[in-house]
Amino acid sequence: MSTLSQSLRTIRALGPIDLRQLRRDAMLPWILGLPVLVALLFRFGLPAVTPPIEQRFGFALTDYQTLMASFVVMMMPIICGTVIGFLLLDEKDDRTLIALRVTPLTPGAYLAYRALVPMILSIATTPLTLALSGLEQLPLHLTLLAALGAAPLAPCYALFVGAMAANKVQGFAIVKAAGIINWPPVVAYFVRDEWQWWFGLCPTYWQPKLYWSLAEGSLLAVPVALIGLLYLLALSWWFLRRLQRSLGTTT
């Protein structure tokens, strides 16, 4: 009960602050709106460009809906994590995190809140975005499993932004540069299975791979989910320690 009470107190304390920051920041609401834009591009753009591409190059983009749907599953936690990462940077600039030392809210409770919020947002928005996109639809329970497996990428990405950038200007640059890690899974999709595992060094490989495994009904889904989770936990721990060192705090 004490843990639940502390969690509720944390939400009541930080939730209104986050909402005020979102309203005050002109960019963050646009980032939150990206899932709708991505979904609409797939829904209306894919049917428009498929016929001319098929006529000119002889292949149909609609044959790769599994790949495109897995890309959406990977992108949702990244988008949610980016928003929380920028909130972390705002709090760095305002020295809010330092002020936590003299409040009843512990750094551990604060970081748990920062980890859970993007995960919940990611799990909630992934099925909705896939449905809006008109892409391949797995049964709802499998879609939720894919969303659940991808969700740890959100706090990992948030901690990455918060740990590696000193301010929002650096954050923009880091997020832009980090976009390169979104593309190895796309390449991996066209690589033979025995060579595909090398792409597992990229942390964004495991979320699409889980979706592909679920779509194929493969038993690999379980080990893929576990490996991806452990990898993201290790990265999150490293980014967390780096963030704590930059703030001079410990949990």
**What is the per-residue pLDDT for 70?**
94
CA dist 113 and 251 (Å) reads: 13
**What is the per-residue pLDDT for 142?**
94
**What is the per-residue pLDDT for 251?**
45
CA dist 247 and 216 (Å) reads: 45
Backbone angles phi, psi at 59, to 5 degrees: -140, 150
CA dist 192 and 194 (Å) reads: 6
**What is the per-residue pLDDT for 102?**
56
In this structure, what DSSP letter does residue 62 have? G
**What is the per-residue pLDDT for 19?**
73
**What is the per-residue pLDDT for 94?**
66
pTM of the model: 0.86
**What is the per-residue pLDDT for 100?**
59
Locate the domains of the chain by residue range: 2-247
Whole-number CA gyration radius for the chain? 19
The b/e string for 76-107 (b: 16+ C-beta within 10 A; e otherwise) is bbbbbbbbbbbbbbbbbeeebbeebeeeebee
Token match 């944390």: residue? 10
**What is the per-residue pLDDT for 244?**
78
| Ordered per-residue pLDDT tens for the chain, 251 residues | 454 456 566 667 677 767 777 677 666 777 777 888 888 888 898 888 888 888 887 777 888 899 999 999 999 999 999 988 888 888 777 666 655 555 666 667 777 788 888 899 899 999 999 999 988 789 999 999 999 999 999 999 999 998 898 888 888 899 989 889 989 999 999 998 888 889 999 999 999 999 999 999 988 999 999 999 999 999 999 998 888 787 665 54
**What is the per-residue pLDDT for 1?**
42
Q: 2-24 and 107-133 are packed helices; what angle lies between their axes, rounded to 10 degrees? A: 60
**What is the per-residue pLDDT for 35?**
83
**CA–CA distance from 84 to each of 1, 56, 93, 121, 200 (Å)?**
27, 43, 14, 11, 25
**What is the per-residue pLDDT for 185?**
92
Q: 206-216 and 221-247 are packed helices; what angle lies between their axes, rounded to 10 degrees? A: 160
Confirm if 171 and 86 have CB atoms less than 8 A apart: yes
CA dist 82 and 31 (Å) reads: 8
